[in-house]
Structure 1
């Protein structure tokens, strides 16, 4: 994510669990946005907790998906899907995490910024090497160390771009046009 870790959040909210307020394992690094969105969230009634940054392991099966659309601009929509191999209770925690933190919309906004940031790379690869070169570059980005794991929003974005015929066949040029409009609107 682009957001910087700016604070420590009480995984179990100090308002509900004051006895854990200074317990080190209850403090997790977060960005301001996620800290604000999580707030006092802690569903003790149903036992569905969000993922703890240090104590829980997010599943390594593909859950996060993206769909790329090329029209006047390039857009991305994220969703989560439960693979058959994933336990229902674990999936419920994933749904809660995404819902409370509004991650699908957040990833969408991040993806738009990422695509605009990378437009020169896409143009260079597409113009000099064509569709195959651009696909190779996108697949390399998806597998690179900056993407973390199979469910990192960047890995999912790059895989979706590499699978989009419209994007590979020149749709990336729409990013240049939309970036120019955005820059002139900002100026």
Structure 2
């Protein structure tokens, strides 16, 4: 760094940054990030604005010394897909706990989550006041062990889908509330309904062909096709909107028996 004074103060703050990182990991592993006191994550020798600048200028900026870490985190997202919404393309890093309030975590890789710009904006710089206020953390929260994303068919012309959270009774209640809060805060019902509307339009002609192909009753053939599509997607991602969508379609006798052609 060219600013010798800031470099010196950062070096002197190293122990505090490391300690703050350890406290953060312990809280994340026990789902108690909401219990952390923001006053414990300031750095007496470094201003918050300076830590924000260290992140933006020395890590996020292209060709900066820390950019290699930034890029590695961006590329860590599976299929380049935002882990917060599971749909849009990763384009930035989100500070799980905001850098403006937790400056000691500003450049901590475990506090930096690859995300799309929309999810990054929707999360906002908010301090969680309770466990359910905290959005899901892709590095520490495992919610893929059971299906919780569901959909229902809306019998309109054209057909539509509504997405909602339906957690299993054996899921930890706090985690279940967090899943619902995450779903609501990031407006995932609207995102998935929009994507599903396009998919419904894309599969219409294929379903018409299946319905009219002969053999077993058309509705039965359509149902079997949709059920197979749902199972294929379930094996890839149990809680994708595609899994929820095809499962709902396969379960709707109205849709299978011609609702797919409602216009």
Q: TM-score, normalised by structure 2?
A: 0.61
- 2:131–2:178: 8 Å Cα contact kept in structure 1? no
User: 1:78-89 alignment to 2 at 5 Å?
Assistant: 78-89=163-174
Greater fraction strand: 1
Deviations 1:15-44 (A, max 9, x none): 11111111111111111211111121340x
Q: Does 1:135 align with 2:219?
A: no
User: 1:141-160 alignment to 2 at 5 Å?
Assistant: 141-145=229-233, 148-160=236-248
Q: Which one of the candidate residues 148, 158, 175 is aligned to 1:73?
A: 158
Q: Offset at 1:169? A: 0.5
Cα distance in 2 for partners of 1:12, 1:141 equals 38
Larger radius of gyration: 2
Q: Which residues of structure 2 form unaligned runs of 5+?
A: 1-85
- 1:2–1:110: 8 Å Cα contact kept in structure 2? no
Structure with more relative contact order (C-alpha pairs < 8 Å, separation 6 or more): 1
Deviations 1:72-108 (A, max 9, x none): 2201112222322111111111111012101122211
Cα distance in 2 for partners of 1:118, 1:143 equals 17
Identify the residue that residue 62 of structure 2 maps to in structure 1. Answer: none
Identify the residue that residue 256 of structure 2 maps to in structure 1. Answer: 168
Q: Does 1:21 align with 2:106?
A: yes
- 2:144–2:238: 8 Å Cα contact kept in structure 1? no
Q: Which one of the candidate residues 97, 107, 129 is aligned to 2:182?
A: 97
Identify the residue that residue 183 of structure 1 maps to in structure 2. Answer: none
Cα-Cα RMSD: 1.9
Identify the residue that residue 53 of structure 1 maps to in structure 2. Answer: 138
Equivalent residue pairs, number:
174
